[in-house]
Amino acid sequence: AALKDGLRSQVAAALKEGRVTPTELCQRCLALIKSTKFLNAYITVAEETALKQAEESEERHKRGQPLGVLDGIPVAVKDNFNTAGIETTCASNMLRGYISPYNATVVQKLLDQGAVLLGKTNLDEFAMGSGSTDGVFGPVRNPWSYSRQYKEKSVPKSHSEDKESNWVITGGSSGGSAAAVSSFTCFAALGSDTGGSTRNPAAHCGVVGLKPTYGLISRHGLIPLVNSMDVPGILTRCVDDAAVVLGSLAGHDPKDSTTIQEHFKPFELPNLTDVSKLSIGIPKEYHAPGLSSEILALWSKAADLFQNAGAKVVEVSLPHTRYSIVCYHVLCTAEVASNMARFDGLEYGHRSDMKESTESMYAATRREGFNDVVRGRILSGNYFLLKQNYEKYFVKAQKVRRLIADDFVKVFRSGVDILLTPTTLSDAVPYMEFIQEDNRTRSAQDDVLTQAANMAGLPAINVPTALSERGLPVGLQFIGRSFQEKQLLTVAKWFEKQVQFPMIQLEVVKRHDNGVFQHQKSASFS
Amino acid sequence: LAPWIPVVGLEIHAQISSNSKLFSGSQVQFAAPPNSLVSFFDASLPGTLPVLNRRCVEAAVMTGLALNCSINKKSLFDRKHYFYADLPAGYQITQQRVPIAVNGSLSYILCIDNKMSQMVTKTVRIKQIQLEQDSGKSLHDDTRSQTLVDLNRAGVGLMEVVMEPDMCCGEEAAAAVRELQLILQTLGSSQAVMAEGQLRVDANVSVHHPGEPYGVRTEVKNINSLRFLAKAVDYEIQRQIEELENGGTVLNETRAFDSKLGCTVPMRDKEGKQDYRFMPEPNLPPLILYDAKSLPANMNHQQVINIDWIHERLPDLPSVKREKLVEQYGILPEHSFALLNEDGLAEFFESVVKQTRMKPKKVIGWILNNLLSYLKQHSLTVKESPVSSFLLADLLNLLEKKEISSTAARQVLAELWKGEGKTPLEIVKEQKLELLQDQKELEEICQAVIDGQENE
């Protein structure tokens, strides 16, 4: 079986039929992780426990009793999800060495389905950032930097220039998870999405990135950034896989009071052939300043694709889009300031050696434990929450948030089913270029297209669409109605089939194929 | 000299009597080994989320109804931020914007000049009741320059009851709190034992001249009993008056009551004004309560609280019980007040009345004068009384049947306190305390006494 294959088409069947064993699959993924270590996608590789889980899965398969379609499937989880017995760091010195005593609900669900947890992936510290470059374990490298497609297109500036120095970023903050899926080290990975942190790296790494509706998937055990916007995100190589993972994770969790009560029914995605009843909205405000002409053209082409296939494609307006970045900044920093208050060095995590007084210990611990990005947001957030500022900033931002959410309600009420927008302003930039600007500037720029969906709590998905002139992935985003993931994914799946996004050609992956790979397959499955 | 009007308001924190904490499943228990009742959420482990405890909400609704409050059908939770060792999350979850109950009142009884016969009913307005988390405990070890933190109490549910500044002295404050205590204990929403920290009172005190605006107020904390509450409030009133009459000013500060010295002292910790940076608690949706009218038809019974249902099941409050006792037994109001003021005493009294033919009006004397004073002398509760209601009723029956005199009855009672298991009749026989009914025998004795006298 090919590592590249989707869950349902080959691997799950292969496991069931015994053509490949969970242990083999696990070993192969672990070996590939080792060979792709230069990507820095993983912070912790849980080799022993993964192999043990694989063995247990093997037992079940031998008995003919697999737990489900995820049994034996290697997965990875972003390092801001609690995993019992496995270090959870949030890529921060504050939690270096922190071993949580409990599993996040989504982690537990994956394990209960028999998935094999390979390890914890890299991110921006505490999920703050859009590059996966600001964690204490260093930046994540986009696997496409090493693809034949990118290398063919990149012109070396001089012979002596290090080939390695023009590697591109993954985007963020779930860059490690996106890179892990993109480089075939796992079949699915969990990320988190607060302002675009799953969709952004998905677009840059050429994978599917799903942000579910707020309240559909439990946040219990996800170390929060902004409680009122965070969702667990799903990264896979095809839309069908995302639907499968969604099915195993969604539903009410009594431990998370913000999950919906209604019973969730996992669904199979129909193979949509007729889009004539569909109405696709193109929000004009998403033609944002800085949008590359390449992506603009691709977006337009996609709209034409739907129209030519018989769908109704209309321009719509979400007039408050331009306020969302500023609004997000206020609300995000306020919640960050609050959520980070618990890191005082007393109960867990880093504690400074400073012993003069409790106060000085707190101050030193937090200065040592947090990077500048985190500390900057805490300071801003505390400022906005001061009594004299609360009305002007926090309450005002909440009101603007309501307006932003209402924009979407109005548009969906007017008959539009799905919105089609770009996911990012451009393809992935080289790391050296990315770090020229600070985190705050970058985040403000890069979140523009993704962040309103978090404000409104809506489901959204990045679907890899085409390669840029530089040979790097570009994705497009679909935004759906609240809790209408089935419709959203159905449309996304149709689109995925139309565009036939090319498979990444990675030398290192070929080496691990051991000739068991079939000929190159595209990412679409019929 | 112009008269001073003291103004006293109270903020009372009552620990909710429940099996588990307000937002987590760990147990609520007094004096458990340190850090043995701490869930992941209580310890603020990253990624944990609050889940509201239904019983705590019911307790707050019951208390609100008992205090004549409007119950807010929608109330909200907020975070109140400050750094302290016993507050693991760096914030407390409370209800600052919209609490669960507002605008109530509490009637309490004040005894004028300590004479039980002159009782006045006073009222204090209840501003609001809010649900919030208790903090853990820190123990400062100055010799080793360390602070030890015990999180057992962190996250236990509290009802904060805010009483408007309608009181004027320590006695009123203590009487109001006493009545609140009895109400809470009757409802079962809090055990309200001050000594165990289940009821904590902070007093807000200020003074002003009639016709002038309210003066600057101070907050007095660290009050551990009703007696100290009265003392602390009265001391603070005096202190402020003296300060102002000497040309000084009253600072808006927090002071602690020093029970050994009997005075209030400024608290070092609270320097400068704290900005708590209140923010809505994003992990808890608004708390929605229903009544019979608004209850949706197909709601899961487990998931909703019906205010009317709770209202229907409220037990008789102390004030109602007192009236009933007066009506039913013909005792005086001050008697019923005293009966309800001691845990278990009213039940004891009623039990005795049931088992004896003696009129309740006479029984009450034995209960309040003899039984109660004995218990007080020996610091016993009614439950711990060596004399059961059965034994006392037995004794009172002998008295009622005129088999013994009241003097003899007191003697028997004194013997019964020893708790040696003898019945009143046995003691009477032992000590030959029977009243002689036989006319002839009496004459003989009298004659013998007279004869004896003549011989001298």
For chain B, domain boundaries: 5-287, 318-439
A78 catalytic? Reply is yes
Residue found by looking up tokens 């959520």 in the block: A339
Degrees, nearest 5: CA angle B383-B388-B391: 170
The predicted structure's pLDDT at residue A18: 80
The predicted structure's pLDDT at residue A516: 34
Question: Which candidate in B49, B152, B275 is best for mutational testing of the A interface (most A CBs within 10 A)?
Answer: B49
Q: Is the dihedral of CA A506, A512, A518, A519 positive or negative?
A: positive
Long-range contacts of residues B236-239, Cβ cutoff 8 Å, at least 24 apart:
B236/B203, B236/B205, B236/B264, B237/B4, B237/B6, B237/B8, B237/B169, B237/B170, B237/B205, B237/B207, B239/B263, B239/B264
Within its chain, how far is the Cα of B21 from the centroid? 21
Q: What mean pLDDT do residues A53-68 have? A: 94
Q: Which of residues 365-404 of A touch B (CB under 8 A)?
A: 382, 385-387, 390, 394
**Nearest CA-CA distance, residue A89 and chain B, Å:** 11
Residue A478 pLDDT > 90, yes or no? Answer: yes
Strand B279-280's sheet: what is its strand order?
Answer: B91-94, B78-81, B279-280
Residue A323 pLDDT > 90, yes or no? Answer: yes
CA–CA distance, A237 with A208 (Å, rounded to integer)? 6
Q: Which of A358, A359, A394 sits opposite B279 (nearest CB)?
A: A394
> Does the interface predicted TM-score (ipTM) exceed 0.90?
yes
**B303 chain-A contacts, CB cut-off 8 A:** 261
DSSP B20: B
CA–CA distance, B435 with B258 (Å, rounded to integer)? 56
- DSSP string across A464-476: EEEE-TTS-EEEE
Q: Which of residues 249-288 of A touch B (CB under 8 A)?
A: 254-258, 261
A197 catalytic? Reply is yes
Alpha-helical (H) ranges within B3-116 are: 54-66
The verdict on a CB contact (< 8 Å) between A348 and B45 is yes
CA–CA distance, B161 with B99 (Å, rounded to integer)? 11
Name the residue among A499, A506, A431 with its Cα closest to residue A149.
A506
Name the residue among A398, A358, A429, A409 with its Cα closest to residue A132.
A429
The verdict on a CB contact (< 8 Å) between A255 and B85 is no
Lowest mean pLDDT among A385-394, A509-518, B95-104: A509-518
Greatest distance between any 2 Cα atoms in chain A = 72
Question: What pTM value is reported for the model?
Answer: 0.92
One CATH from 3.40.50.300, 3.30.365.10, 1.10.645.10, 3.90.1300.10 for A7-154+164-325+396-513 = 3.90.1300.10
Residue A144 pLDDT > 80, yes or no? Answer: yes
Contact residues for A180 (Cβ-Cβ < 8 A; gap 6+): A33, A41, A42, A76, A118, A121, A186, A189, A235
Q: Which of B51, B88, B149 sits opposite A257 (nearest CB)?
A: B51
What's the pLDDT band for A522 if we cut at 50, 70, 90?
very low
CB atoms within 10 A of CB A173: 37
Closest-CA residue of chain B to A222:
B47
The verdict on a CB contact (< 8 Å) between A342 and B90 is yes
Mean pLDDT in chain A? 92
Question: Which candidate in A257, A336, A359 is best for mutational testing of the B interface (most B CBs within 10 A)?
Answer: A257
Q: What proportion of chain A, given as a percentage, has pLDDT over 70? A: 93
The predicted structure's pLDDT at residue A526: 20
CA–CA distance, B182 with B319 (Å, rounded to integer)? 10
The predicted structure's pLDDT at residue A6: 57
- Between the CA of residue A303 and those of A31, A207, A271, B187, what are the distances in Å? 41, 20, 20, 66
Q: What are residue A420's DSSP bridge partners?
A: A478
Closest-CA residue of chain A to B279:
A385
Length of chain B: 456
Which stretches of chain B score pLDDT less than 50? none
- Report pLDDT digits (tens) over A482-497: 999 999 999 999 999 9
- Report pLDDT digits (tens) over B312-337: 999 999 999 999 999 999 999 999 99
CA–CA distance, A100 with A106 (Å, rounded to integer)? 15
CB atoms within 10 A of CB B292: 11
DSSP B286: P
**B298 chain-A contacts, CB cut-off 8 A:** none
- Report pLDDT digits (tens) over A72-131: 999 999 999 999 999 999 999 999 999 999 999 999 999 999 999 999 999 999 999 999
